[in-house]
Structure 1
Amino acid sequence: MAWQQSPSPAAANSSPPPAPTTVISLDEDLLREIFLRLPSLPSLVRAALSCRTFLGAVRSSPAFRRSFREAHLPPLLGLFFDPEVPSIPAFAPLRRRADPDLAAAVRGADFFLTRLPADDDTFPGWAIEGCCDGNVLLQNCSLEQFAVYNPLARALDLIPVPPDKIFDGARGDAKYLGCYILSSEEGGEPLRLVYTCHDKSRARAAVFSSESREWQIFPWSEAVTPLPEDQHWLKVGTLVNGFVYWIHTNEAYILVLNTATLHFSQMDLPPTLVARDLIFRVGETKDGKPCIVCPIDFELFVWVRGAEDDGIERWIFDQRFPLETIVEVTESTLVEHGDLKVVATIGGFVYFSTMETFLDGHNPSWFMSLCMETGELATLFQRRFDGHPHPYIMAWPPCLIDNQVHPQLEGA
């Protein structure tokens, strides 16, 4: 019999080699630290939906979502262009070859709005009211419906227009003013719409809740002072952080609706802008404060709403941005660009074009963005200005919040 040497005590007591560490074996805190270093929200979505472990780490932590939002601006995916006549709006995507995940998000979305119903295939009859938190709000007058559609999630909610009694008690002719989506970043709350109208001196609101599926109509506001001289006395409104702002047609003041209390009030304009016949709109800064951006020649002037030393809130002139560098960026001349037209100011970014609306539908315009924090100017694309533009910004997907299960992972 061959002699066998017994194992040494050290060998007998040695433990097996540790299992190799993989990404799946990391705890959720480490995973979230890794995810914070991803370049964009589309990259995070792609990573989170790759397995249940990653998805659970992302949607189980509101603190992580706040940190990611602070470190990564929500990406602009493109602009909808709404034609003058009701139809299916066109979408111009933002092309960024350096970000393949953003390109994948655009390719996977339904920006052709194919789920919208229509009673006439050749004339669908839909017009965009606005974009908010990843949803597109549209109205179809012939169907007497609103549609709230998320092109990324392909989620559609059809809502009837308010009953005609919203116009009861009007002084003179009552006119539609605008409709707006009320939502929250974290989701989980019923969808709400606020519908507004006005008569010759007052305004009124109605609120729809997806929970009750009914409209609640609120009383007419107090008459504004001084009384308007024109029946069309308000311009297009802008929803900013729970408030809707309408600029008076003659730039006399701003009418404001608090969507939490449904109370209307008046707000002064910056003295520089009163009765100047300039084109400007209210927008929002990076931290959600109301701001006004006004183009004058080839400069953008910015006012921010805030309190000064006396504690009274007013419009405070913030800064001006000379934009003659447009000539260098686009390799053209100022004469070729015409006037500047601010499209929207969202999250501290000013989106604008270099031609006045419908000045020349055959001559392409440059669409650009300006970061108010850094002053960085970026080109988006060149396109004919043949419709009302609406920037579409990607919101935090519902499938990454709380315990909602993504259908692709069901049964995985």
Structure 2
Amino acid sequence: MPTPPSPTRPVLIAGAGIGGLTAALALSRRGVPVAVYERRRSGEILMAGSGLTIWSNATTALGTLGLADVLLARGEQVRGGTSVNEHERVIYRMRTARFTWPGSVPSVSISRGGLIDLLMEACGEAGVPVHEGHRCVGYEQGPDDVVLKLDDGRTVQGSVLIGADGIRSAILAQLHGEPPQPLYTGRSTYRGISPKPEGLEPGTVYMFHHAGTRVGGGAWHVGGGRVAWTLSCAADPGEREEQKVLKERATQLARPLPGLPSRLVAATAAEAVIRTDIFYHDWRERWGDGRVTLLGDAAHAMPTDLGQGACQAIEDAVVLADALVGHDDPVAALRAYEQRRIPRVRWVREQVMRLVRWPQIHNRAVKWLVTKVIAPVVIAVKQRSLWRELQRPPLPSNTETATGGTR
């Protein structure tokens, strides 16, 4: 007989990032007992990262959990985007209304810490236990349960285990029999959050690129009178830089670009500038086994191009909850979740990897042809269909059940 989740055998979630917390909340909202285990303390989680754009596919998923209003109140509704080159020539513009599905919640930009805080609050109100300072190191499966192993030697019994423990997931390592080997994109991103400057239209994601230096980035409002910015460049991974050097390096990267990036970096406190080397995983078709499955970066870590990493983790979470509630057999539910998610995530990742490979053209003549002639045409033709498909709601009923917020 299948063993469903119960108070003594809850759904166990390894990881309290965006995907893990969303999954915990989605399950709790559906009456499924759940417990979360996270290696970091809440202060570390809230300080991690910079700004995010949560596109409509993911905000609509959060809307089904009753979070649309608070998300829009704490963040900034995204109405469009503008991309310029080093000469401030507009490469393309987009309006998100053209790509948003009927009945969906609008796209929102927010700080990563702001989104984590929002999810933590909602989980707390729902009575979801989030156990901080507990590193998940492995698991054992039985016929009727799964046992999660913690780094202090303790074990926890549950009905199923969700590995949401990030790109270096211990759950993924055991599932595949070897530690994950993240692949480096060859690019590093400097990030920060500054006070809102003049000249950045509210609701607009501003993107910039310098063809000569191959430096690119973006800036967008994240609510509270603040703007998140990024500057991405080619770099060796793992370079250690003192905190004051991070801002100096970001200042150098911004200098050849149009005026806004330099103003944003100058307005950011040196201690608030961070560097992130961009890694990803090789694609894996196998996400789970028995009573164990993966979501988010543990399943499909991808580069940050297109801003779908957090969004796909949120999609994973609501589809997983839907599958677990819709099946009497938890094992069958996990396989159904994987079958629903793998084709979608594979397609999204393919679109991202095309962008990652694009800057790796080194022949100057070919790069000129691609950048000046081919790119504007391809973008004009492809952007509407691409962005509309990216923002497809993850559940067929999402456009009917999303609540709260401006449509």
Mark yes or no: TM-score above 0.5: no
Q: Which has the higher contact order (CA 8 A, sep 6+)?
A: 2
Q: Which has the higher strand share?
A: 1
TM-score range, shorter chain: under 0.3
Q: Give the TM-score normalised by the residue count of structure 2.
A: 0.25
Larger radius of gyration: 1
Q: Give the TM-score normalised by the residue count of structure 1.
A: 0.25
